[in-house]
Amino acid sequence: MRLVRTLVSDADSERVVAILDEENIDYVVTPEASAREDLLVVEFPVPEQALEVVFDRFEDAGVRADSYTVVTEAKAALSENMDDIEERFVVGEEEDSSIAAEELRSQALTLLPDAFTYYLLTCLSAVVATAGLLLDAPALVVGSMVIAPLVGSALTASVGTVLASREMILDGFKTQVYGLGVAVLGAITFGFILRSGLFLPPSLRPATTAQIAQRISPGLLSLTIGVCAGAAGAVGISTGISAALVGVMIAAALIPAAAAVGIGVVWTAPTIAFGAFVLLVVNVASIHVSSVAVFWYLGYRPDQWVPDDLRANASLRRFGPSLAVGGVLLVSVVLVGGLVSTHVTFEQSANAAVEETLAQEQYEDLELVRVQSAFNPGPLSGQPQEVTVTVRGPVGQTFPEVSDRIRDRLIAETDREPVVRVEFVTSQRSPPEHS
């Protein structure tokens, strides 16, 4: 429920009252207390779903609601026609759970904390994520997502894009870029302290840690996380769902990847650093694209948008910032998406080669545990593609040719000559007891 208090001139009051009467909304009109001439205060309660309808009618009638309008949350409203209004907008034919554009703008801006809090929490979340990745502790990685305040910057930029607000676009993207930079620097600093202080065993290989391995090989599933995070954030903020819930999802797509970039730098592992960086860029772009698409689907448009008039809406003067963001995101998706597509194709070939090889009779005692294809953009990197296959087999048996057979199949199916590493996990099984 929302309580609206707006200041209108005496000349506009008749049109405002007429609109409220037509919409069957109860209202109160009082003189403006400072005794300025020809000004009246109009106050009325409405469900949040009806707010945009009323504001649109005010705008169509030539009444400017932005001269002075305050919208506050009301716990409850009792009036003669309130039951009919709620029946119409909350559960009736005009039911719509999304909030008004003005309230959406305000909601997005309130999600941006002050600079000190934002960068401090971002740095702390990156430190926790770094510890969780190195310790292979999923609980710590999840904990880092909870304290990360990245939801505000991501959604501010997306709301600014869909509403063509240059200030919101700049604030959102600037805060997000700086925040992710702080996260990477925090991960580098913390990782350097851990490594130089010998707090971790010298034998630690970050690439073999499961939590890190999941963040250095961008693929279709990684893209899905970013798309879902952006869509969930857009739905959440536009329907009044707690920002903390959608914030965790957005942080899940960004913070662990940023921490993995720092780990790759500290351990001088280009494969980790580059793969995690590509994942970070993919998730940033997919979050913004999906959230803008959801906002647009929900009916949010720039203030000067003209329905069904492409020529009027193609104005660089009015919508230049939004078009610029769209161009940057398009280039990012094309360039990074091409790298991810190449990797996904090779990953599919690797999975198929491993499956076909292990299906042979001489390898029937081997059980596949995992296939990991290190992210590699192709011949331009100058480095061979690496594939690590983990299999489980019985104690005492050796399979010396399995890596060569997998490699031969990959060479036949792709244009690369990869390095194939097969890691064996031995196991024993006691026979069942017979009674």
Please provide the DSSP assignment of 243-264 as one string: HHHHHHHHHHHHHHHHHHHHHH
Amino acid at position 287, single letter: I
Q: 173 or 313: whose pLDDT is higher?
A: 173
| Average pLDDT for 219-238 | 82
**Minimum mean pLDDT among 38-52, 94-108, 362-376, 416-430: which range?**
94-108
> What percent of the chain is predicted at pLDDT more than 90?
9
Write down the pLDDT at residue 180.
Answer: 93
Write down the pLDDT at residue 312.
Answer: 59
> Does residue 244 register a pLDDT over 90?
no
**Minimum mean pLDDT among 23-27, 121-125, 252-256, 355-359: which range?**
23-27
- Give the SS3 label for residue 389: strand
**Minimum mean pLDDT among 90-94, 115-119, 381-385, 392-396: which range?**
90-94
| Average pLDDT for 409-424 | 85
Helix axes 115-134, 166-196, angle to 10 degrees: 40
| Average pLDDT for 201-209 | 77
Whole-number average pLDDT of the chain: 80
In terms of Cα–Cα distance, which of 385, 370, 185 is closest to 271?
A: 385
| Average pLDDT for 297-313 | 70
Q: What angle is formed at CA 152 by the lines to CA 144 and CA 340, rounded to 5 degrees?
A: 70
**Minimum mean pLDDT among 184-188, 213-217, 225-229, 247-251: which range?**
213-217
Q: Give the Cα separation of 224 and 115 in Å (integer).
A: 30
Write down the pLDDT at residue 185.
Answer: 95
Q: Are 156 and 96 in contact (CB under 8 A)?
A: no
* Residue 259 pLDDT class (50, 70, 90 cuts): very high
| Average pLDDT for 397-415 | 84
> Does residue 39 register a pLDDT over 90?
no
> Does residue 122 register a pLDDT over 70?
yes
Instruction: Name the β-bridge partners of 424.
Output: 391
Write down the pLDDT at residue 95.
Answer: 45
> Does residue 298 register a pLDDT over 80?
yes
Write down the pLDDT at residue 346.
Answer: 83
Q: For residue 365, how far is the Cα from the chain centroid? A: 43
pLDDT (tens digit, 9 = 90+) per residue, 14-34? 788 888 877 778 778 787 766
Write down the pLDDT at residue 391.
Answer: 87
367-373 and 28-31 strand pairing = unpaired
Task: Report which DSSP code applies to 155.
Answer: H
Q: 127 or 309: whose pLDDT is higher?
A: 127
**Minimum mean pLDDT among 107-111, 129-133, 329-333, 344-348: which range?**
329-333
**Minimum mean pLDDT among 95-109, 178-192, 200-214, 301-315: which range?**
301-315
Task: Read off the pTM.
Answer: 0.73
Determine whether 228 is exposed, middle or buried from the number of CB atoms within 10 Å of its CB (0-12, 13-18, 19+). Answer: middle
Q: Give the Cα separation of 231 and 417 in Å (integer).
A: 39
* Residue 331 pLDDT class (50, 70, 90 cuts): confident
Write down the pLDDT at residue 94.
Answer: 47
| Average pLDDT for 122-131 | 93
| Average pLDDT for 377-388 | 69
pLDDT (tens digit, 9 = 90+) per residue, 69-110? 888 877 777 777 777 777 766 655 544 556 677 778 877 888
- Give the SS3 label for residue 370: strand
Q: For residue 170, how far is the Cα from the chain centroid? A: 18
Write down the pLDDT at residue 308.
Answer: 61
Q: Give the Cα separation of 119 and 178 in Å (integer).
A: 8
Write down the pLDDT at residue 121.
Answer: 92
* Residue 66 pLDDT class (50, 70, 90 cuts): low
